[in-house]
Amino acid sequence: MKNNFCLIFAFLFVSISVCGQAVWRQCQGPYSGEMISFTANEGNLFCAGQLSAIFMSNDGGDTWQETGMDYGNTYFLYSFNSKIFACVKNSVYVSRNNGLDWEKCTGIGSTRALYEFNGCLFATGYNGVFVYNEATNSWTSVNSELNGNTFASVGDVLFCGTYGDGLHFTEDLGKTWEKVPEQAGIDISSVYHLISFKDKLILSIWDSGPKVVFSNDAGKSWSEIEFSNSDIRFNGFARFQENLILATTDAVYQLNETNLTFEVFSNKTFGYVFSDGSGLFGSNRSGLYKWNETDFVLSNTGINSARVNDLAIINNNLYCATDGGAFYSTHDGDTWNMIEKTKDYWCSTIESINDKVFIGTDKGVLYSSRNQANWQSTNNGLGSETIWKIKAVNNVLFAATDAGLYKSTDEGQSWEHVRNYDSQIQSIAAENDLVLVAPGYYTIYKVSRDKASLEAFVSLNDGIHVIEGGNSSPQLISFDDTNVIENIHVFDGVIYLSIGNAGLFKSYNNGITWERNSDVRSQDLTKRGDSNFYAVWYGDVYTSMDDGKTWTNRYESGLSGYYANRILHGENKMFVGTLGKGVYAREYLTDTELFSDSYSVNGSIISNVTGGVTIEELKSNLYCSYGASIFISQNSPSTNSTANEIRTIKVVAEDGITEKVYTIDYSTNIGELVIGQVEIYPNPANSVIFVKSDFGAINRVQVYDMQGELLIEKDDVKGGVNIGSLAQGFYYVKIIHSEGSSSQKFLKQ
């Protein structure tokens, strides 16, 4: 008897991949992604991004490593009394050991800003203003009505700025607050950024447009600092050495204190700017930049926070399009190189045709030969520079843009508008002569045979409608009208349409009729081999080994919760792109081992199988190692088919290549199988599980990990089985009872 039990359910002509311990590992790069908060503590630097993590540097920002905080959506970081505070999602956390461990604070929720003032730590957000109690690691509300977003102080006065309710101040450590009076000609009701610099209080505000104003008398009067560019937007202040730095959508500026004007410090544009006093950092979607006395240079080695929009394998290179540029890897994602031409570009899509590679960006289309040299723009004829998707179909390139669909028949040298639609199109699906585009949430268009115009194809209106000759056919499949088109794919002539909570639909006849394929939702979908499908939906990977009929959530470790939105199958690995955590990869699983509690499996022979056992009974007592699937077939399937109608069982590994065929050696030495039920509850469980059985007395319970290692064994289970020592994850329980044994899986939370 073997000590690894990985249960699967194998259906007739259907197989489902086994759940188990496949581990996704984060690739070392591509390093990009915007950091939105920054702080320094005990000589270490910390930064954080949305849907990402908190990173630490102990070498002045040259290299970074991830800390123990990995909950995503870190809005604000602050250092106070050798502690680091992080405003994450709707909570505030504190670390006392430079980010290694984090503890959740009590008494406070969603927070926008933290600030130290006269020995106290203040916080503000949607629920008012709070003060921190260090002894109890808790927060106390001092004002429930002041929903602020930024702090600053001048002397013994603390100021709090709000969106829409002006600037407020306190002179008694937050016990009472007063509103700074408005001044004629300057509206400070909406304060975006607030900083004290030497003897001045400086604000960026919205007053019929963005403005910067300052006060020399603690808010009693205000003066404006004018900018010649009226379209400029202000993104934040930082005190750097003896200078005041301002990040904008136009450039980085420095305050000239003599004439009170801002002068260009750097032509870089940043969404955020930070300083620990001695070092200056700016961040945009390409990543974190560091000032090196002459210019800002990328300094984000180790910051794995890329927002991935597309993945592609071209000429054995792995390409990745992100919010902050495009990258390629020649080593299956182990190392990455940035395509310098795309630095600071939003890159959405990657495609190839013949010997050229194309990248869609917010500045049009770029192309190069496959050796990565001499990237050039090719936008001749495009009506928009924002490219959402590029697709090659029979030597014709199609580009989805904000101005409709465009095509190129000369490898991107010129583009021509495809008629009948001139608004935003975000996705394209194509195969052979079938080209489909989704311009929005409710309609799909088909490119005409002459590729000159778009024709209405499918619409959603409380269900799927097929449009022929401009008329809507009768409603085919009904669902809630809040469901929208999430993605569309074509594989081997079959159209797959993912529609919100309604699930996955497919059509075998070019969209004339549709059937619901499953309830699985997908951000992206890929097919490998004849029938293996993979789908991602946020942090989950779903697998179907039967052409999309049935799906299994793989619960693979290392990926859950990371907002996966792209999936790609390579020759040796699967790749997943995430929104804020870069690229993950795992190798294909090739184990085809078969085993059973009820039968003897020796080499390639399954014995002790009686002729009277039904197909369903046989299937329910066969197991295979993780990554493999059982295929059982027979000539004339029927409900009451017995196992003696089949002679062989094939086990195929996840790679679709490795397989093993087992021969059944029928025997009459054992009686009919007794099929019953066992129940594990609660499932999921935190500390204790209980077991019930239809088979009578339970003699022993054994708990195994997904690799088959025995972890817990207990004979007396009346008081349950204590699982408190187990790490979070999936485990198998083998229940040995009077009729034999049964196995079930449970989740330890």
Considering the domain boundaries, does residue 452 fall inside one? Answer: yes
CA 235 to chain centre: 26
Task: Among 651, 674, 697, give the residue marking a domain's end.
Answer: 674
pLDDT of residue 500: 80
Cβ atoms of 358 and 314 within 8 Å: the answer is: no
- Quick one: which of 8, 9, 16 has its CA closest to 547? 16
Does residue 487 sit in the same domain as residue 344? yes
Does residue 622 sit in the same domain as residue 647? yes
Does residue 663 sit in the same domain as residue 697? no
- Report which secondary-structure segment, H or E, holds 235: strand 234-240
**Domain containing residue 389: CATH number:** 2.130.10.10
**Mean pLDDT to the nearest integer, 357-384:** 90
pLDDT digits (tens, 9 = 90+) for 601-630: 877 888 888 767 777 778 778 888 766 778
What does the CA dihedral 164, 166, 169, 174 come to, rounded to 10 degrees? -10
Task: Among 640, 674, 708, give the residue marking a domain's end.
Answer: 674
Rounded to an integer, what distance in angstroms lies between the CA atom of residue 438 and that of residue 499?
A: 12
- Quick one: which of 418, 408, 306 has its CA closest to 354? 408
Rounded to an integer, what distance in angstroms lies between the CA atom of residue 549 and that of residue 370?
A: 38
Does residue 436 sit in the same domain as residue 471? yes
Beta bridge pairs of residue 399: 390, 406
Q: CA 317 → CA 25, 59, 437, 543, 586, distances in Å?
A: 19, 32, 27, 25, 17
Rounded to an integer, what distance in angstroms lies between the CA atom of residue 105 and that of residue 61?
A: 28
CA 591 to chain centre: 29
DSSP annotation string for 159-196: EEEEBSS-EEEESSTTSS-EEPPPBTTB--SBEEEEEE
pLDDT of 675 strictly over 50: no
Q: Chain-wide mean pLDDT for the chain?
A: 84
Does residue 597 sit in the same domain as residue 704? no
Rounded to an integer, what distance in angstroms lies between the CA atom of residue 487 and that of residue 498?
A: 5
Per-residue DSSP letter, 316: T
Lowest pLDDT segment from 16-25, 254-263, 645-654:
16-25
Collapse the DSSP code of 675 into the 3-class scheme (helix H, G, I; strand E, B; otherwise coil) and give the result: coil
Considering the domain boundaries, does residue 407 fall inside one? Answer: yes
pLDDT of residue 154: 96
Rounded to an integer, what distance in angstroms lies between the CA atom of residue 645 and that of residue 13?
A: 14
Considering the domain boundaries, does residue 267 fall inside one? Answer: no
Considering the domain boundaries, does residue 744 fall inside one? Answer: yes
Considering the domain boundaries, does residue 584 fall inside one? Answer: no
pLDDT of 33 strictly over 60: yes
pLDDT of residue 502: 81
For residue 428 the two structure tokens come to: 């394209």
Considering the domain boundaries, does residue 549 fall inside one? Answer: no
pLDDT of residue 148: 95
pLDDT of 469 strictly over 50: no
Task: Among 636, 651, 674, give the residue marking a domain's end.
Answer: 674
Which structural domain range is residue 97 located in? Answer: 28-240
Which residue pairs, CB below 8 angstroms and at least 24 apart, start in 375-383? 375/339, 375/340, 375/341, 375/342, 378/412, 378/413, 379/415, 380/413, 380/414, 380/415, 381/406, 381/414, 381/415, 381/416, 381/417, 382/406, 382/415, 383/417, 383/422
pLDDT of residue 170: 97
Does residue 599 sit in the same domain as residue 711? no
Does residue 37 sit in the same domain as residue 85? yes
Rounded to an integer, what distance in angstroms lies between the CA atom of residue 285 and that of residue 33?
A: 5
Angle, CA 44 vertex, CA 42 and CA 50 arms, to 5° = 125
Angle, CA 612 vertex, CA 606 and CA 617 arms, to 5° = 65
Rounded to an integer, what distance in angstroms lies between the CA atom of residue 373 and that of residue 363?
A: 19
Q: How many domains does the chain have?
A: 4
pLDDT of 707 strictly over 80: no
Cβ atoms of 191 and 183 within 8 Å: the answer is: no
pLDDT of 455 strictly over 50: yes
**Domain containing residue 722: CATH number:** 2.60.40.1220
Does residue 379 sit in the same domain as residue 492? yes
Grade residue 386 by pLDDT with cuts at 50, 70 and 90: very high
Per-residue DSSP letter, 707: T
Does residue 159 sit in the same domain as residue 205? yes
Query: Euclidean distance between the first and final Cα of the chain, in Å?
Result: 29
Lowest pLDDT segment from 36-50, 108-122, 511-525, 670-684:
670-684
b/e code 624-655 from CB counts within 10 Å (16+ = b): bbbbbbbbbeeeeeeeebbbeebeebbbbbbb
pLDDT of residue 319: 96
pLDDT digits (tens, 9 = 90+) for 297-351: 999 999 999 999 999 999 889 999 999 999 999 888 889 999 999 988 999 999 9
pLDDT of 412 strictly over 80: yes
Higher pLDDT, 96 or 604: 96
Does residue 322 sit in the same domain as residue 202? no
**Domain containing residue 634: CATH number:** 2.60.40
pLDDT of 12 strictly over 90: no
Considering the domain boundaries, does residue 255 fall inside one? Answer: no
Rounded to an integer, what distance in angstroms lies between the CA atom of residue 513 and that of residue 473?
A: 10
**Domain containing residue 155: CATH number:** 2.120.10.80
pLDDT of residue 71: 67
E strand map for 315-431: 317-322, 325-329, 337-338, 347-353, 356-361, 364-369, 376-377, 387-393, 396-401, 404-408, 416-417, 427-431
Q: Which strand ranges, in their side-by-side order, compose the sheet holding 387-393? A: 387-393, 396-401, 404-408, 416-417
Considering the domain boundaries, does residue 286 fall inside one? Answer: no
Pairing, β 659-666 against β 605-609: parallel
Does residue 656 sit in the same domain as residue 697? no
pLDDT of 93 strictly over 80: yes
Does residue 422 sit in the same domain as residue 312? yes
Cβ atoms of 578 and 563 within 8 Å: the answer is: yes
